[in-house]
Amino acid sequence: MSGDPEVVVIGAGPNGLAGACVLARAGLRVLVVEAHPDRPGGALASDAGTLPGFVHDVGAAFFPFAQASPAFRDLRLDEHGLRWTFAPIESAHPGPDGSVAVLARDLDIVERNFGSLQDGGRMRRVCEWHQNIEPSLIPAMLKTFPAIRPALGLLPFAIFRLAATFMRSGARLSKAWFESEPAQRVIPGLALHTDVGPDDMFGSGIGYMLAVMATTGGYGVPEGGAGAITAAMIRKLESHGGQVQLGARVKSIVVRDNRAVAVVLADGQELRASKGILSDTSAPALLGRLVDAKHLPGRIVRKMANFAQGWGTFKLDWALDGPVPWSCELAREAAVVHAGDSLEDLRSFTNEVRGGALPSNPYLVIGQQSLSDPSRAPAGKHTLWAYSRVPNHAPEGDWAEIKARFADTVDARIEALAPGFRDRVLARRAVSPADLEHMDANLIGGDLGGGSNAWHRQLLFRPVFPWFRYRMPVKGLYLGSSYAHPGAGVHGMCGYNAAHMLLRDL
């Protein structure tokens, strides 16, 4: 890059890169500085963490929003080498009693396999209705809040019906809609991808969206690993003259006359940014640490000091000698398998994690990427990826002591649904909340959600009122990470919206 950058983007996660692409495309000189010493992507990357020849996703692995995200559509990542693969079934929710409910893009499969024929028919109608409103609903939900223009595309009846749906807890919605246990565990189970429990007020929205979007965009996986999305974004960025610098941790932001003018790296180097700084960091790190508290309103500094993080995440990868021998046939064809037996099981899990304990029967999100993407493992072998939610801090001792024991508990839960699973394991990697935070400073205490996803942490309150439209209390500084609206997930919209706000201000 000739000359100083005009915009510095702090962090090369999907949101930082989406923002950087928009800014570079607009003609600005953009430099992305990334703390990780040898790879960009943040929680969107792949490595060979078990055995040679196996490709594992270090964080995000399934991308319901990627197909529908206005940012990803606009950036046309397919033109930069991104290829998607899909399993026949998106999500299977098997129980130990042999029952199952599944989500698939083929609604005939859903109708036949959603707990009971009546529940299958009901779910089919919900998904068909959603398909009609999705083109207006997704921009309304993901663009800068309040996204009035896209919301106008929704008819009043649709808005009323959505409000009636989202106002309920996941458990109440499921019980109102479905009669069979397998169907009832799907929506509240999916909400536990975040920190929203089955009985939480207004808790149905996240589970509902993940369920219906499994049947529209699907839970696709990128060919070659999740890092392929990051690689495509970097190619896009470079095609507009932008650059990424690895091993460049920002330790402070220089503020002059209430304007952010430069970043200082851990090695002392100062990089000026004449037109703005877009931060793909956590909100608490940005407001009070990178920007000195003396430049910020005291109320904001206090709020950040007590910021509500989401739960921790305990993640595992396995290299397998063959596919997982699920007792449930449909799970053998599913991109994602969810282990959560019943509403009661999901409730006890939630209570244990909220109470600071390790879950005794961990709810699991289990990914089978190599089913649809054979490039993830040597011929005939498979990868497996899973996570459970856990407290942010180790309940006793430290994570290093607990890791192997809790990983064995996870193995036991999978073995119960797939007898013979353990015999197929060639290698296992366990990643604690502390390991995740060490890999990516945004994952505070292993929180994968950019802060809590409870209803009162969204929209106007994300990350803190009144700074919910990406501008920060210091001029020229924008927050574009998942700590901003619309929050967690790989859709690039936080960075994309923040970049548009910066351009608007210029």
Ligand X SMILES: Cc1cc2nc3c(=O)[nH]c(=O)nc-3n(C[C@H](O)[C@H](O)[C@H](O)COP(=O)(O)OP(=O)(O)OC[C@H]3O[C@@H](n4cnc5c(N)ncnc54)[C@H](O)[C@@H]3O)c2cc1C
Q: Min. distance of Cβ 12 from ligand X in angstroms?
A: 5
Q: Min. distance of Cβ 326 from ligand X in angstroms?
A: 20
Q: Min. distance of Cβ 147 from ligand X in angstroms?
A: 19
Residue placing its CB nearer to ligand X in the complex, 44 or 192: 44
445: left (phi over 0), alpha (psi -120 to 50) or beta: left
Q: Min. distance of Cβ 5 from ligand X in angstroms?
A: 14
Size of the site for ligand X (CB under 6 A): 39
Write the DSSP symbol of residue 449. Answer: S
Q: Min. distance of Cβ 143 from ligand X in angstroms?
A: 16
Of the listed pieces 1-9, 14-22, 207-215, 422-430, which binds ligand X according to CB under 6 A? Answer: 14-22
By CB under 6 A, is residue 14 in contact with ligand X? yes
Of the listed pieces 29-37, 78-86, 156-164, 172-180, which binds ligand X according to CB under 6 A? Answer: 29-37
Mask for 32-61, x = binds ligand X (CB under 6 A): -xxxx-----xxx--------------xxx
Mask for 363-392, x = binds ligand X (CB under 6 A): ------------------------x-----
By CB under 6 A, is residue 10 in contact with ligand X? yes
Angle between helices 117-142 and 204-215 (to 10 degrees): 100
Residue placing its CB nearer to ligand X in the complex, 182 or 450: 450
What distance in Å separates the CA atoms of residue 103 and residue 92, rounded to the nearest whole number? Answer: 7
Helix (H) or strand (E) holding 315: strand 312-320
User: Among 136, 174, 309, 442, which residue sits at the site for ligand X (rule: CB under 6 A)?
Assistant: 442
Distances 228 to 15, 225, 288, 317, 375 between C-alpha atoms, Å: 15, 6, 34, 18, 12
Distances 3 to 35, 275, 315, 434 between C-alpha atoms, Å: 22, 13, 42, 38
Report the site for ligand X in 239-258 (rule: CB under 6 A). Answer: 249-250
DSSP code string of 36-61: SSS---TTS-EE--SSTT--EESS--
Q: What are phi and psi of 17, to 5 degrees?
A: -70, -40
By CB under 6 A, is residue 421 in contact with ligand X? no
By CB under 6 A, is residue 463 in contact with ligand X? no
Q: Min. distance of Cβ 494 from ligand X in angstroms?
A: 6
Residue placing its CB nearer to ligand X in the complex, 61 or 232: 61
By CB under 6 A, is residue 115 in contact with ligand X? no
* Angle, CA of 353, 358 and 364, to the nearest 5°: 75
What distance in Å separates the CA atoms of residue 341 and residue 184, rounded to the nearest whole number? Answer: 10
Residue placing its CB nearer to ligand X in the complex, 319 or 436: 436
Alpha-helix runs per DSSP H in 257-318: 283-286, 298-305
User: Among 54, 63, 114, 399, which residue sits at the site for ligand X (rule: CB under 6 A)?
Assistant: 63
Report the site for ligand X in 285-344 (rule: CB under 6 A). Answer: 313, 315
Q: Min. distance of Cβ 142 from ligand X in angstroms?
A: 12
**Closest by alpha carbon to 88, among 334, 325, 288, 255?**
334
Amino acid 97 reads D
Q: Min. distance of Cβ 65 from ligand X in angstroms?
A: 6
Do the beta carbons of residue 255 and residue 261 sit within 8 Å? yes
User: Among 8, 9, 16, 381, which residue sits at the site for ligand X (rule: CB under 6 A)?
Assistant: 16
389: left (phi over 0), alpha (psi -120 to 50) or beta: beta
Do the beta carbons of residue 336 and residue 90 sit within 8 Å? yes
What distance in Å separates the CA atoms of residue 455 and residue 170, rounded to the nearest whole number? Answer: 13
What distance in Å separates the CA atoms of residue 348 and residue 355, rounded to the nearest whole number? Answer: 10
Report the site for ligand X in 260-289 (rule: CB under 6 A). Answer: 280-281
Residue placing its CB nearer to ligand X in the complex, 99 or 372: 372
At 320, is the secondary structure helix, strand, or coil? strand
Q: Min. distance of Cβ 43 from ligand X in angstroms?
A: 3
Do the beta carbons of residue 83 and residue 225 sit within 8 Å? no
Mask for 466-505, x = binds ligand X (CB under 6 A): ---------------xx-----xxx---x-----------
By CB under 6 A, is residue 435 in contact with ligand X? no
Positions that interact with ligand X (CB under 6 A): 10-16, 33-36, 42-44, 59-63, 249-250, 280-281, 313, 315, 387, 436, 440-443, 448, 450, 481-482, 488-490, 494
